Chain A
Amino acid sequence: MIRPRFEAHNLYPVLAIAAFLLMIAAAVASFSLPAGASARGKLVLAWHAGFASRWLDPQEHDGTATPDNFFTAIHDALIKNQGTELYNHLALAEHFQVANDAKSATFTLRKGLKFHNGDPVTPQDVKFSYENYRGAKADVFKKKTERIEIVDDRTVRFVFKEPFLDFAILFGTANVAGPGWVVPEKYYKQVGADAFKQKPIGAGPYKVVRHEPGVQLEMEAFDGYYRPVNVKQLVMVAVPEAATRVAMAERGEADIVYNIPGELINKVGKLPGITIAPVLSATFFIEFPGFQDAKNPFRDKRVREAVSLAVDRRAMNQAETAGMGKTSGNWINNDVLYAIEVPEYPRNVEKAKQLLREAGYPNGFDVDWITPLPTFYSRGERLIAQLREVGIRGRLQTMERGIFLQRLQGGLKEFPGTQMILHGARIGGSWSFWYEAHFRCGGSLSRDRICVKDLDGRFDQYERSINQTERKKIAEEIQRAILDNYYLVPVFRHAFVNSIGPRMVLSKWQDVFPTITTGYAYPWEDLKVKD
């Protein structure tokens, strides 16, 4: 009897046919299903990190720029930053007035305002939202507010214990604090703070239809909003990997893609139908921790100036954001109250070397560590290379973001010896928030690393003053002093680069990113997609 022998290669034709059939099936399926491509009347946004549910509740605003992306879709405030208005765009408020003595502020609600569940927006909701607010700067509001009066069914008045000059700017800047964002008292109390974050109800242009925590947020246009809402469905999808987001843009799966990293900007810019939106964002600047110490080379102003002269800002901007950032400017963003404009600092290696020689460092000197803001490590490397040209030799110190913030809060003891920090920050509202956080002695991030007493004294005068003209003068004086003395050295303003897909209606990228105080695409209700 002849038995058939097993030969492995006999199977290959079968496997090849099976593979071929699978490929055909996949190709047919690709024609019959849209593979996640956006549907009509729908806008898909690819978000660059996970979604934290706490970002959906303005009552617990963490004071960062991130939650305003969600607030402006789901909720609404009495006044807010929008377009070119820094904090005083009239939203739920039809009008508002801060008293001349800055001891009260009165807001009148628009007529017929509703929450997504149909309940009317009332002054009581405004009062509750303010009183119940427990997020960033909550204690400032609580400390300064004496009472809240409900004047009539549309009017509410905040009465302060003392003149509160920064009230409107704190109250109306979405990326600073959130007591002006109105939540429905009844619903909030009924479901509780945690459940509210899972299924938030607001008075914003979009209502939440589906919320997968950390993954996806599906929203639908709210018919009861006081302004027209153009796109029916707004879907925000969390896609942490940048290359995947770019692929989504390329395939048309996402209409707006946030945060294109430097190395992918050129590729995305060449894609047909894609518009790049380089929104100016955080400012990067150099700090010299403990420069007041007698042994610290940075104690000498000439050395700090030499650092400024050694920095090639244009090269940094070109390499890090494909030239889309801004090389001129203050260390404070120009979209906050009283920030001054500053021209580009020159680069002059020879002059830098000369200044170092004059300061007693003809052969340069060693810096123990140069620490860039995580995760912008390549910027630190570029800075090190540029400083080496003038003889300042530094070593890169990288650390994880949480550790970095913790060490900043730890003060000078965390940065012993000769060190430099390449900071990056974006703070909304007022120049004073920058000073308080990054410069003032005892500030939340500066702690005891800088401490210039005469400037802190001037800042105290600024805080006490209720005269706007005087405040502006002091603010400008302090900023000039910081820059003229090179206490902090501005490097460049980073561009938060996004992409806009071909389905969006626009004549220029600013049509989709019109709000100058943010890197995000709000107001959402104004965005349009093609039919």
Chain B
Amino acid sequence: MTQFILRRLVYSIATLFILSGTIFLVVRLTGDPVALLAEASARPEDLERVRHLWGLDRSWPAQYVTFMQNALRGELGKSFNYRMPVSELYFQRLPNSLTLGLAATLISLLIGIPAGIISAVKVNSAWDNVAKGVALLGLSIPGFWLGLVLILVFSVWLRWLPTSGAGGWRHIVMPALALGWYFAASMLRLTRSSMLEVLGSEYIKLARLKGLPDFVVIAMHAFKNALIPVFTLAGVNMVVMVNAAVIIEVIFAWPGIGRLLFEGIFQRDFPLVQGVVIMAGFMIVGINLVVDILYAFIDPRIRLTR
């Protein structure tokens, strides 16, 4: 087991290392940030001054070494635009993203699981078709479109909810719905297939033969076992929602990490983009590491085969 954990740890560190190199390179390939930091009509002297100020006149390897040295000390650099440490900016926005991610996860669970169960229990019925339709729509409707429709309906026409920003529970309803909708659809599909698999298993047939009521069979026997992959997906989904809700956060002017990343990309704020991506990678790699280790504990075959 120790060897398994160590191996996974090495993989995780290597993943983060590759990620840091990739993001470092990619942001630089997209152009020179100095062109955006100075005025459009800036003279070469102005551009040089800005370039030197931010250490962008040094070679890429030199910049990368500095970046990694700082990252290992927990410093992600200073944002070009905000003139603040990236880590400070990140942790300022993190609570908002966590709140949104949590609310969207709840919505996805509240929609996806019951609908998935009904769909599986009433397989090939009208209910199942409706649920499959909902899943199809959820997976195919773009988040930005859904977000704008929600604003139009609930803010402009009905005047129930504020259009954008953060502040109270009313601000979170629409962004959470727009974000959770897609994940609800994937949750619904997974719950349905997982339930169908479990419902077809021998021990469920036995339970039915014993005369147990449907409710007990579904809730106590089938659902419990079908839930494991669903909650695994929910955990991963939440990490994605926290770190990559770029479009939804921009549409609803939600002050989270996704919007911070958008602003960083838009302004070619290298340290900001690098920092946010590294933190997201750290979170995703960390969650996967924990899940891998937990699975290995639960199922010894995993640690033996990998």
Chain A positions within 8 Å of B, measured between CB atoms, are 3-9, 11, 26-27, 29-30, 33, 35-36, 49-50, 52-54, 62-64, 134, 136-139, 193-194, 197-198, 212-216, 237-241, 243-244, 247-248, 250-251, 253, 400-403, 405-406, 409, 425, 427, 433-434, 436-438, 444-445
Scan residues 231-256 of chain B and give those whose CB is less than 8 A from a CB of chain A: 250-253, 255
Query: What chain B residues lie within 8 Å of A11 (beta carbons)?
Result: 114
Residue of B nearest to A35 (CB): B162
Cβ contacts under 8 Å, A403 to chain B = 30-31
B167: chain A residues within 8 A (beta carbon):
36
Do residues A253 and B162 form an inter-chain contact, with CB atoms below 8 A? yes
Apart from A35-B160, A49-B266, A63-B46, what 4 extra A-B contacts exist at CB < 8 Å?
A6-B216, A64-B40, A139-B49, A248-B163
Within 8 A of A (CB), among B17-43: 30-33, 35-43
B134 CB to nearest A CB, Å: 14
Contact between A405 and B35 (Cβ–Cβ < 8 Å)? yes
A239 touches B164 (CB 8 A): yes
Q: Among the listed B81, B211, B215, which residue makes an inter-chain contact with A54, where contact means beta carbons less than 8 Å apart? A: B81
Q: B214 contacts the other chain (Cβ, under 8 Å)?
A: yes
CB-contact partner of B45 in A139, A238, A401, A436, under 8 A: A139
User: Taking the nearest CB of chain A, how far is it from the CB of B97, in angstroms?
Assistant: 13
Interface range on chain B: under 10, 10 to 19, 20 to 34, or 35 or more?
Answer: 35 or more
Residue B4, interface by CB 8 Å: no
Q: Most chain-A Cβ atoms within 10 A of its Cβ — which of B156, B167, B211, B253?
A: B253
Structural contact, A8 and B92, CB atoms closer than 8 A: no
Question: Which of A4, A215, A437 is in CB contact (< 8 Å) with B40?
Answer: A437
> When the two chains form their complex, are residues A445 and B40 in contact, meaning their CB atoms are under 8 A apart?
yes
3 interchain residue pairs of minimum CB distance: A63-B39, A437-B41, A6-B215
B213 within 8 A of A: yes
- Taken together as a complex, chains A and B put the C-alpha atoms of A53 and B260 apart, in Å, by 13
- In the assembled complex, B297 has its CB within 8 A of some CB on chain A: no
List chain A residues, Cβ under 8 A from B219. 6
A240 touches B161 (CB 8 A): no
Inter-chain contact B250/A240, CB cutoff 8 Å: yes
User: Are B161 and A4 touching (Cβ within 8 A)?
Assistant: no
Residues of chain A within 8 A of B170, CB atoms compared: 26, 29, 33, 35
Residue contact A136 to B35, C-beta cutoff 8 Å: no
A26 to B177 CA separation, bound complex (whole angstroms): 15
Residues of B within 8 A of A193 (CB): 83
Q: How far is the CB of A38 from chain B (nearest CB, A)?
A: 12
A237-B165, A427-B41, A445-B40 in contact; A52/B160 too (CB < 8 A)? no
Q: Footprint of A on B, CB under 8 Å?
A: 30-33, 35-47, 49, 78, 80-84, 89, 92, 114, 117-118, 121-122, 127, 148, 151-152, 155-156, 159-165, 167-168, 170-171, 173, 211-216, 218-219, 250-253, 255, 259-260, 262-263, 266-268
Q: Which residue of A lies closest to B247 (CB)?
A: A241
Query: A114–B219 Cα gap in the complex (Å)?
Result: 71
- Residues from chain A with a CB closer than 8 A to the CB of B263 are 50, 214
| Nearest CB in chain A: distance from B106 CB, A | 14
Cα–Cα distance between A241 and B213 once the two chains are bound (Å) = 53
A81 to B65, CA, bound (A): 46
In the assembled complex, the CB of A440 is this many whole angstroms from the nearest CB of chain B, namely 11
Q: Which of A216, A247, A433 has the most CB of B within 10 A?
A: A247
Nearest CB of chain A from residue B16's CB, rounded to whole Å: 26
Asked if A401 and B251 sit within 8 Å, CB to CB, the answer is no
Chain A residues, Cβ within 8 Å of B35: 402, 405-406, 409
**Contacts of B215 on A, CB cut-off 8 Å?**
4-6
Bound Cα distance from A139 to B71, whole angstroms = 35
Cβ-closest chain A residue relative to B96: A215
Q: Which residues of A contact B82 (CB under 8 A)?
A: 52-54, 197, 213-214
Q: Would A436 and B41 be within 8 Å (CB), given that A3-B211, A405-B36 are in contact?
A: yes
CB distance from A176 to the nearest CB of B (A): 8
CA distance A35 to B118 in the complex (A): 36
- Residues in A with CB closer than 8 Å to B89 are 213-214
Q: A248-B164, A444-B42 are in contact. Are A50 and B32 (CB under 8 A)?
A: no
Name A405's contact: one of B30, B40, B164, B251 (CB within 8 Å).
B40
Bound together, the chains give a CA A241 to CA B163 distance in angstroms of: 11
